[in-house]
Structure 1
Amino acid sequence: MKKKLTGIAALVAVGVGLTGCAAGGVSGGGSAVALDPDATLDGEITVWSWDVGAVALERLAADFEKTHDGTTVKVVDVGYDNAYDKMSVGFQAGTGLPDVVTIETDAAPGYITQFPKGMLDLNPILGDDEADFDPFKWSAGSDAEGSLRIAPWDSGTVALYYRTDIVEQAGVDIEAAETWDDLIAAGKVIKEKTGHTLLSTDLSAGGGFQMLLQQLGRGLFNEAGEITLDSPEAVRVLTMLQEMNEAGLIKNVTGWDGRVTSAKDGDSAVTADAVWWIGTLQGDAPELSGKYAVLPLPVFDEGGARTSNNGGSGLAVPAQAKNPQLAAAFVDFVLADADNQVSMMTNEGLFPSYLPALESDYFSKPVEYFGGQPVYETFAELTAQIPPIVYTSDSAEASDIVANAVAAAVLNGADPATVLADAAAQLATSTGREVAE
């Protein structure tokens, strides 16, 4: 599902402190149930999700019930605005949660760390299929001991969308832009010849900094939980954004609505974003049909990753679930089945984290909006290449601090290395974590 940054903030809003490391925290209620893949399945479960996720799960719940006599799956659309409040309170109280919950990838570390016993280990059910899932999503849903607490559902695989009419008007060959340096050089020609900027982004919200940093295989923390937001890779990304802005290649917009409006108005030539941006374009800018195409991201260095991640979600079974065996079986049915995953793509636009589903002919079909290009094929090929990075319970706070650093460097001209070092020190003071050497 589309990434919504308010997801993590909801944790803080209800007073669930997201500081410290994996040790300690709140249990989240329930007992240590050992899931059995051969357990007899009967009874009823309740599932929480929202928007198209709830629609997809309700549709598949009917199929599950048909093949599992004596079972009932009730899907409740709890609404995005209420979901995290309800889940945080339920985990903290140890009661009140259903049998299955939806948790977005960016919110996952906070729940896994703060409630180390709050979600069941799904490895007994899905562990044999680990190699069949997006490795980044599997890593993001696992705890430090390797227990899978949140199973991968949909992925936010990133590629480069570009306006074919704008690049043609500028006379540039965007497909020849192998590196970010190449793309920036093309952007300068586009700006000179057409007046369009290279890309539109919200610099006050980070300007895509973390997405680009992940492309380099870096996050804001390392495997030891130490702060790395001032790493050489981070300085490189922020310096690039600063130089792009100084060259007049960035259109600074405000929020989600600003991004959508900028795309509709044709302000910029390219957009680096996730596969779900396809649905946004088709829904909000149908008049641009035939004017877009997709490429893998340009690399920073030869042989580097040509993709990243932005968004996505997973399914978890709370330890307090009343029918955990049936809940886990439903999660397995929904997520580790190629046909079911493809059906969620075709019906609800949820791009699979389950790699076998990406082999479906659906992903090689031409998409009229993109001039007949089989754009989903590009995302399918890139999904297994998303660089894994480390999230922690302090990722939300780190994201806010990084956004301020991006604004200081890109909008106000501050030195990238200095603002990132200051940001790392600020995060260390507020969280008690060490800054990596």
Structure 2
Amino acid sequence: MSTRPTRRAVLATGLAATASSLLSGCAMGGVGGGGRAPEIDGKADDKGGKAGGRITVWSWDVAAKAMKRLAGDFEKRHPGTTVDVVDIGYDNAYDKITIGLRGGTGLADVLTVEGDHMPRYIGNFPGGFYDLMSLGGRYGGDFERAAWHTVTGPGGKLYALPWDIGPCALYYRTDHFRAAGVDPRSLLTWDDYVKAGIRIKKATGHKLIIQDPTDPGILPMLLQQQGQYYFEDGRVAVDTPAAVKALTLMKTLSDEGLVAYEKGWDGLVTGTKEGKAATTPTAAWWTGTLTSEMPELKGRFEVVPLPGFTADGIRTSNIGGSTFAVPAQSKNPRLAWAFIEFLLTGKNNQVSMLGREGLFPAYLPALDDPYLGERQDYFGGQRTLDVFARLARNIPPVEYDKDDAKATDIMISAVTGVMLHGRDPRRALGSAAGQLARATGRKRVA
């Protein structure tokens, strides 16, 4: 069985740039913008609470399809309720959410928000969402810890519930590795990965990885693998030893001629289809792209854990993932919570969304379902989902921040300078840290 295409593809297109600029410049306006997150009255489950009436849910693509499919089951469980799922499209989603939060009106009762965006909204609109802790806090141990970290805020508040995640592994072309005589299981470290790439290129002519020259590439993934992002305890952390290790690795890949530069999402898909690179280190949702866009390559891919920075280091990271939040302006927060609880805290629903829509669950009990142990024909009979399920439990939590958009813009310039123009990684990151500190008025870690 294979997962289906997911909305995660859009992460590589930069479609959120407009919303990021809106967020980076916004004041804490709107309903509850600079105030305290309200709580939802009612019992700590969706049985016998004040769940009635109608709610509207905003989402996009397969996420919206999943909710439309399951909304009928929810309505049967709660007679007299109506769930209106609206596919608002990814292109405009964050513009609409940001404008609604700033203006204090016009938002749906339930919002889909990607995990790395949620801390930005929490930082800019701390009173813009209901605090779900009294109702949802008891589920904390049931969700993947990095995803749970993204939805919690100061004072122990719970601003959303995690939905799906993007645990990372190394997708590789079995034919390229076989032709070069490289055992993928031997890639314990990133140094092993580089050596294998040199060998594969010499034997087959294929490069190792595809990189967008206008994007930070695998840098965020490599940072989270080491347990950090752009900020640590509110301080600028883009020139830490971990960051230097990550960008030095990327420079080595470029210097060795192992990087195929292709622009945007379409470039990544086309380059992979044409066999320009032997590997893609990325998240579980890439499976959906392979099976839908490249059915002719069935049997030529498998996955192994990411190489580590040390042989006994963390072998995964995270890219993507989303959450469900209830804005403070919701007219029916009780029913909104009931729908979120129904959708995300049931093993059957989560496994159904994985199998039908390719949404990899943040809900840990779902990862033990026998479905994830099934062999996948596309991957030559490998139990691919089981690989990701085991890795998902080890994703390091990191600190996302309201100023991540500013950091991303600065880091793109640093990565480009190093990989395309040969700048020294340590100096480039030091310069980037200075720029980010000045732009945000923060101190530096290093």
**Do the structures match in fold with TM over 0.5?**
yes
Aligned residues: 431
1:25 aligns with 2:66: no
Residue 134 of structure 1 pairs with residue 144 of structure 2:
yes
Determine the C-alpha separation between the residues in 2 that align with 1:277 and 1:338: 23
Deviation at 1:17, TM superposition (A): 3.5
- Secondary structure, in 3 states, of the residue corresponding to 1:311? strand
What is the aligned partner in structure 1 of residue 225 from structure 2?
A: 215
- The equivalent of 2:99 in structure 1 is 89
**Are positions 1:282 and 2:291 aligned together?**
yes
Between stretches 252-261 and 199-208, larger displacement belongs to 199-208
For residues 281 and 31 of structure 2, the distance between their equivalents in structure 1, rounded to whole angstroms, comes to: 37
Give the structure 1 partner of residue 186 of structure 2.
Answer: 176
1:96-175 equivalences in 2 (<5 Å): 96-175=106-185
Deviations 1:308-366 (A, max 9, x none): 00111111000110000110111011011111101111111111010101111110111
Deviation at 1:244, TM superposition (A): 1.3
* Distance apart, 1:121 and its partner CA: 1.3
| Matches for 1:4-403 after TM superposition, within 5 Å | 4-5=10-11, 6=14, 8-13=16-21, 15-18=22-25, 25-29=28-32, 32-36=38-42, 37=44, 39-222=49-232, 224-403=233-412
Conserved 8 A contact 1:8-1:106:
no
For 1:139, what is the secondary structure of its paired residue?
helix
SS at match of 2:278: strand
1:367-392 deviations in whole A, cap 9, x for unaligned? 11000111000011111110111011
Q: 1:27 to 1:436 in 2, by over 3 A?
A: farther
> Does the CA contact (< 8 Å) of 2:347 and 2:365 recur in 1?
yes
Task: Determine if contact 1:27/1:116 at 8 Å carries over to the other structure.
Answer: no
Determine helix, strand or coil for the equivalent of 2:428: helix
Question: Given that residues 136 and 386 in structure 1 are in contact (C-alpha distance below 8 angstroms), is that contact kept between their aligned partners in structure 2?
Answer: yes
Question: Structure 2 stretches of 5 or more lacking a match?
Answer: 1-6
1:34-79 CA-partner distances (Å, limit 9, x unpaired): 3422522111111111110111111111110111112111111111
Give, as a single letter, the amino acid of the residue that structure 2 aligns with 1:193. A
Q: Which amino acid aligns with 2:28?
A: G
Task: Give unpaired runs (5+ residues) of structure 1.
Answer: none
C-alpha contact 1:275 1:351 (8 A) present in aligned 2: yes
Partner of 1:405: 414
Give 1:219 shift.
Answer: 1.0
Q: Is the 8 A contact 2:24 2:405 kept in 1?
A: no
Counterpart amino acid of residue 38 in structure 2: A
Following superposition, the deviation at residue 4 of structure 1 comes to 3.4
Amino acid at match of 1:286: P
Question: SS state of the match for residue 138, structure 1?
Answer: helix
TM-score using structure 2 length = 0.94
> C-alpha distance in 1, partners of 2:134/2:80?
23
Partners in 2 of 1:319 and 1:98 — Cα distance? 10
Aligned-pair Cα RMSD in Å: 1.5
C-alpha distance in structure 1 between counterparts of 2:247 and 2:403, whole Å: 21
Letter in structure 2 aligned against 1:347: R
